[in-house]
Structure 1
Amino acid sequence: MKVQHYYVDSELNDDSAYKQAMKFACELAEKDPNVKRVILLASTKKTVSWLERAFSDKIVKDLFKGLKFEGCKPLYKIETVQTYKQQYSAQDIIITMAIDDKDVLPLNDMHSVIAIIAIPWQKSGLKQYLETWNPIDIRSNKNFKSEIAQPNCIVIKALEQLTNSINLSNGINHPSDNTRAKTTVLALHKYETSLDADLVKSYLTRVLHWENDVADELAGLIRTLNAGKFFKGGDRTGLQNHYKGWKQKCEEES
C-alpha cells in the first residue's frame, strides 16, 4: 500500500500545528473507511508538551489510553517511537510530533501506516523526509518543492541494475548480494566525482522501493568512502567495466 505523505510547514513552538494536523487526519479518515486510528507519535512519553498546551491535562492523559473526538470516526492515541508497533489489522494515520528523520523515515515501511503527517521541530531535522517524499503541506496544499532532485543517469543505471540483481527481501545480507552492492558502490565512488549518499538513499526508497533500513545500509557504504575510510568486501577489479556499462546505457537512451 502506498503511503500518503503530508507535513506542516512549521517550526518550533507552533501549537496550532497540532490541532490542524489532527483535524486534517479526521478529514482523511472520513474519506477512507479503512482508517481506524490516528497515532500521535512522540519521542518519549514526556515529550508531549505541545498537546498539553493545546488541550487539557485530562484529554492528554486520555489520549495515552485512546480517545475519540466528537464528529471524528477514528481513535486518537499517543504512542512513542518505542511503543508503536505495526499491526497488520490496523490502518493508521501517523502524526509525528517533532521527531526527526531517524524515526520518521522507517514509518513508510510499516504495513499498518496509511498516511504520515509530519510536524517538525526544525525542518532541517526532516530534511531527508521532505526531499525524499515531497510531502504536501496541509496548510497551503502545496508540495514541499516542485521537483525532487535525483542522481545522474549513470548512478541511476547502476542502482537499477543492482536492484534487479539482488534479493531485496533479505536486504544486502546474502554474501553474493553484499558483494554486488559493495562492488557497485566502489565503482561509482571511483568514477563519479560527487556521489551523494542522501540522494542515493532517497532514490532507492522513493523510486526503487527499497526499505528504509536497507537503503540506509547502502548509503552508509557511500558515506564510509566519502569520509576517506574503507570497508571490507566487494570486487576491487574490473570496476571500470561496470562503469562503462552503465555509461553506455545512458548514451543509448540519450
Structure 2
Amino acid sequence: MTPPIRVLVPVDAYDAESFRLALGYAQKICEKVGSQDVILLTHTKNQLSHTSLSRFLGPAALKALDKGAMALSWGGRLSARTMKTFRYSARNAVVIVYYAEPKIFDFVDGLTNVAGVVAVPDIAGEADAWVARWGAIVHGQAQQPPPSLINDAIFVRALETLSSVVNLTTGLGHPRDKDMANEILRILRAKGHADQSANIKSWAIRRGWRPDAAAELETLAKKIWSLKTKPSLSAIYNANGRYQHWQGEA
C-alpha cells in the first residue's frame, strides 16, 4: 500500500470553513486512491454533539452518524469514530482528525491501511511536529519536502543500527532491545553529540516504529542527556569500535 497522503488544514477548528476544507481534501484523496470511506476521528463521542462540529454537521447528519454512516454528496460515506472505538485498521479510508493534538496524532500514526489523513488542529502550533514528521501538505502553502529531523549523520547511523535489530512493533519492550538502545545513546552522549530527543520520536515513527515505542525511545534519550556528566563507556562492550563503525558508515 502506498504511504498515506497527509494534509493539515490550519484554520480555526471552530470556523465552519475548516470542516468544509477537511471534507474537500478527504474527497480528493478518496478519488485519487479509489476509496469511498471517510472517517471522522475525535477524542470522544461528545465532541460531535457538544462542540462546533454539531453546528457543521447538523441534526440529520448527527443522527445518521449515530446509526452508522451518512452518504456524502460525491458518493462517499462518512462515519464517526473515537480513539476508543477505532479499530487498528482503517480499511483504506481517509481519516479526518478533528481537534487534533499530539496524542491523537500519535494514535492515527499507529493505524494501518490508512489512505490519507486530514488534520484540523485544536490549537495553532499543535500540529507542527506532525507536519515535520511527514512533510504533510499544509493548506494554503507550497508543499515542502520532509525535513531530515536529525542533522547529525553519525547519530542517524547509530539509530539506524538500532532500528535494524529492534522489533519495531514492540520497541524497547524486550530487555535486550532496551539495553542496546541505552548503550547506543550513552555512547553518543559520551562522544559529545547534541541532544536529539526533541526529534527522535518523529524520526523513529517515520522509520516504522510504533508511536508508543518511539515515545519510549524519546524518554530514554531525554534521561541520558539529562545526566549531569557524560556517561562512562567502560562497561559497554566495544563502545569505541561501534562508534568508529558509525563514523565510517555515516
Same fold flag (TM > 0.5): yes
TM-superposition CA deviations, 1:112-136 (whole Å, max 9, x none): 3111001111232223211101111
1:179–1:235 CA contact under 8 A, matched in 2: no
Specify the SS of the correspondent of 2:80: strand
Q: Which amino acid is the alignment partner of residue 95 of structure 1? A: I
Specify the SS of the correspondent of 2:44: coil
For structure 1, the residue ranges without an aligned partner over 5 or more in a row are none
> Is 2:144 aligned against 1:130?
no
Counterpart-to-counterpart distance in 2, 1:130 and 1:246: 29
In the alignment, what sits opposite 2:118? 117
Specify the SS of the correspondent of 1:83: coil
Counterpart-to-counterpart distance in 2, 1:178 and 1:169: 14
> Is 2:83 aligned against 1:69?
no
Structure 1 position 146, deviation (Å): 4.9
Counterpart-to-counterpart distance in 1, 2:39 and 2:160: 35
Q: Percent identity?
A: 21
1:55-94 residue pairs with structure 2 within 5 A? 55-64=57-66, 65-70=68-73, 72-87=74-89, 90-94=91-95
Greater Cα offset, 6-15 or 151-160: 6-15
Specify the SS of the correspondent of 1:125: coil
Indicate the RMSD between aligned Cα atoms, in angstroms.
2.5
> Alignment length, in residue pairs?
241
Higher strand share: 2
1:90-239 residue pairs with structure 2 within 5 A? 90-137=91-138, 139-140=139-140, 142-143=142-143, 145-146=144-145, 148-151=147-150, 152-206=152-206, 208-228=207-227, 236-237=235-236, 238-239=238-239
Structure 1 position 32, deviation (Å): 2.4
1:38–1:75 CA contact under 8 A, matched in 2: yes
Specify the SS of the correspondent of 1:168: coil
For structure 2, the residue ranges without an aligned partner over 5 or more in a row are none
Counterpart-to-counterpart distance in 2, 1:55 and 1:212: 31
Specify the SS of the correspondent of 1:93: strand
Change in Cα spacing, 1:87 to 1:12, as seen in structure 2 (3 Å) is closer
Q: Which amino acid is the alignment partner of residue 53 of structure 2? A: L
TM-score, normalised with respect to structure 1: 0.83
TM-score, normalised with respect to structure 2: 0.85
